[in-house]
């Protein structure tokens, strides 16, 4: 089961990277001022022109507050991961960056969603999509019973909002996920994120997030 789940994650990650590169190309020029392209970012890093901020907490509300404060200082989200802490439980780590000495006016707005119920996450994710927020990352917290998925959403304050329809798929069977992925793809949805976490009743549940542009 774990081997099949791992294989599915690898395929989804590859598929998401390919599809996202084509769709995100249309907005890359708008975002380049605050989030430079990879080649430019690499050169800036080599020249010592990037500065980073590491945020770490085991509370979603605290993380959202710190991300909002960092964004107000010109920082932009780079990546998120979670893992066990010295005292037990899980802690989320978020990396944000900005160009050293540049105009650090606020450019991005962030919203964090976290719940162990997929129905609640679907509702909150769609509400955020209706406001122009886009999926940027996700991770999983280990709780006393089961896990909690945390999703990071971003909205560009200087760009015309792009509205999205989101669909959250969750199942313990990879065969069922395969079927639901194909059905969603037939409706025009694109893969953007996936995570695996333990459930209250034991075993692992695959949670996949898909989206399509609002027509």
Q: Is the pLDDT of residue 27 over 60?
A: no
Alpha-carbon distances of 127 from 3, 76, 151, 153, 162, rounded to whole Å? 35, 23, 13, 11, 13
Question: Picking from 33-37, 51-55, 142-146, 173-177, which range would have the lowest pLDDT averaged per residue?
Answer: 33-37
Amino acid 105: pLDDT? 86
Q: Any idea which of 72-86, 155-169, 173-187, 193-207 has the lowest mean pLDDT? A: 193-207
In the chain, DSSP finds a helix count (H) and a strand count (E) of: 6, 9
pLDDT of residue 49: 74
Range 111-118 average pLDDT? 87
Tokens standing for residue 132: 């122009």
Mutual orientation of helices 174-186 and 2-24 as an angle, nearest 10°? 20
Distance of alpha carbon 176 from the chain centroid: 23
User: pTM for this one?
Assistant: 0.76
Task: Return phi, psi of residue 112, to 5°.
Answer: -115, 135
Strand partners, 112: 152
Which band of pLDDT confidence, cut at 50, 70 and 90, is reported for residue 21?
very low
C-alpha to C-alpha distance for 143 and 134, rounded to whole angstroms: 26
pLDDT digits (tens, 9 = 90+) for 123-132: 999 999 999 9
Percent of the chain predicted with pLDDT > 70 = 71
Alpha carbon of 142 to those of 43, 119, 122, 182: distances in Å? Answer: 37, 19, 20, 29
| 61-67 long-range Cβ contacts below 8 angstroms, 24+ apart | 63/92, 63/94, 63/112, 63/150, 64/110, 64/111, 64/112, 66/94, 67/94, 67/96, 67/110, 67/112, 67/152
Query: pLDDT value at position 90?
Result: 76
pLDDT of residue 122: 92
Closest Cα partner for 50 from 42, 39, 61? 42
Provide the residue range defining the domain that includes 51: 2-213
The residues facing 110 across adjacent strands are 154
Mean local confidence (pLDDT), 196-202? 62
What was the pLDDT predicted at 2?
Answer: 43
Structural domain total, the chain = 1
**Per residue in 122-155, pLDDT tens?**
999 999 999 999 999 998 877 666 678 899 999 9
């Amino acid at each position: 089961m774990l081997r099949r789940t791992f294989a599915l994650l690898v395929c989804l990650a590859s598929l998401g990277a390919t599809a996202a590169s084509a769709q995100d190309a249309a907005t890359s020029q708008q975002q380049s001022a605050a989030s430079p392209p990879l080649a430019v970012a690499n050169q800036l890093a080599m020249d010592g022109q990037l500065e980073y901020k590491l945020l770490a907490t085991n509370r979603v509300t605290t993380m959202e507050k710190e991300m909002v404060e960092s964004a107000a200082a010109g920082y932009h989200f780079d990546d998120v991961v979670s893992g066990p802490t010295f005292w037990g439980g899980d802690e989320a780590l978020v990396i944000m960056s900005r160009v050293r000495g540049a105009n650090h006016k606020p450019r991005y707005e962030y919203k964090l969603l976290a719940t162990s119920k997929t129905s609640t996450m679907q509702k909150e994710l769609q509400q955020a999509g209706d406001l122009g927020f886009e999926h940027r990352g996700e991770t999983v917290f280990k709780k006393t019973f089961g896990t909690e998925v945390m999703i990071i959403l971003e909205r560009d304050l200087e760009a015309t909002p792009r509205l999205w329809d989101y669909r959250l798929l969750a199942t313990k069977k990879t065969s069922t996920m395969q079927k639901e992925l194909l059905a969603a793809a037939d409706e025009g949805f694109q893969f953007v994120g996936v995570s695996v976490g333990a459930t209250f009743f034991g075993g692992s549940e695959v949670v996949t997030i898909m989206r399509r542009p609002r027509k």
